[in-house]
Chains A and B, each alone.
With several copies, the nearest count.
Chain A
């Protein structure tokens, strides 16, 4: 079947008539859009706005400080590679590791079990970040550690829930978004229901898409189609991977291990019920309780406009620090750190402000 990216792009040019602003919520979408140069093939009527869907970017400074403080206290701290370079006042996991502290890269949450066995006489802490796609792995780790009676393992649960953030943006009168490209993998877990508020409450198209360039273009095309036809809906164009009901086992595990809590999103502020904390039966695995950590939400670095970038109010080249004081080597804000942070992606891939 002749669906390839260039032909979708061509089609999109034909159907897009009214100017639209569409937000891609997910950082993986952001990066795929930049790396494939999608912006350069879109019709001028279609404006893409990058959203807060990079777990690195939205992890609050206070949360990073908490992880570093545990390193300082002698714990082994395990984290996904994505988190290593994120700076806060006290440094980063990478800079702590370079001073000989035990920050370890893991590629899966379950690797933390072996670390806890290897360092049986030390505290091993997992820095749990990410959205609903990632949180089930942490939940499974905690459940398994509980089953095995492992005593030296705990978790800093800084996981975040996507729907509250998306609703905040949908409701923002300044943004005037025309629709949302929704994160395919979050929806693999959550299903369709948590995003139905988009068409039902705000009259906005919500399209769940995969991450290949052609899948993204197809998702965008469907948002345009919904607008052109005046029929906003929630739809998945990600094939059979996303089921309407999501992944029941994953949802059950999240329900078993976590409860909602108010959580600070870096650059955005506290969003009610947008975080996941360990429930009472698992509180012995809660590193915040175990080490008596009280999170202090960080203040954004002076001059950094991450909050506006993360909510799509400005694009990075509009930040005065972009490419001058703020580069991937010495990032001012977290959006510049991550490979999928909006500022980082603009810096690396965007020709617009250079030619």
Chain B
């Protein structure tokens, strides 16, 4: 439906334009859809547009989901 790839902002090029990298790929992206993008931010890019910022994974939600699932499977907590 919509391929989107995490990019790291390298440089702000002007209003709504930034240089970003996705792995080894360097590309210019549009930041129209986000506020306050700064170098170092990780954003999700689709069709040339950053559609959301990604925060460093907060594992709490995922951890709780994992715990729920293991509980359901009758497995002991590993942590």
Q: List the interface of chain A (C-beta within 8 A of B).
A: 1-3, 11, 14-15, 25-29, 53-55, 80, 107-111, 130-131, 133-134, 136-137, 140, 183, 185-186, 188-189, 218, 221-222, 225, 228-229, 237, 239-243, 247, 249-250, 253, 340
Contact = CB atoms under 8 A, between A and B. Distances in A.
Given A243-B52, A247-B51, A249-B32, A185 B1 contact: yes
A111 B75 CA distance: 52
A218 B49 contact: no
B51 A14 contact: no
Interface string B40-79: 0000101111011011011101110110111011110011
Given A1-B59, A136-B32, A218-B65, 17 more contacts: A25-B1, A28-B3, A108-B48, A111-B48, A134-B46, A134-B47, A137-B49, A140-B33, A185-B46, A188-B44, A225-B68, A237-B65, A239-B54, A240-B54, A240-B55, A247-B33, A247-B52
Interface of B: 1-4, 29-30, 32-35, 44, 46-49, 51-52, 54-55, 57-59, 61-63, 65-66, 68-70, 72-75, 78-79
A39 to B, nearest CB: 19
A228 B72 CA distance: 8
Contacts of B69: 11, 15, 221-222, 225
A321 B69 CA distance: 41
Given A185-B51, A240-B55, A11 B1 contact: no
B64 to A, nearest CB: 11
A192 B53 CA distance: 17
A16 to B, nearest CB: 10
6 contacts: A1-B66, A54-B1, A108-B29, A140-B49, A188-B44, A249-B34
A228 to B, nearest CB: 6
A225 B72 contact: yes
Nearest to A189: B51
Contacts of A25: 1
B59 A249 contact: no
A185 B47 contact: no
A237 B76 CA distance: 22
Contact of A137 (B48, B62, B65): B48
Interface centre among B4, B35, B63, B70 (most CB of A within 10 A): B4
A240 B57 contact: yes
A26 B65 CA distance: 22
Nearest to B57: A239
A82 to B, nearest CB: 9
B62 A3 contact: yes
A263 to B, nearest CB: 16
A131 B49 contact: no
Contacts of A186: 1-2
Contacts of B51: 133, 136, 185, 188-189, 247, 250
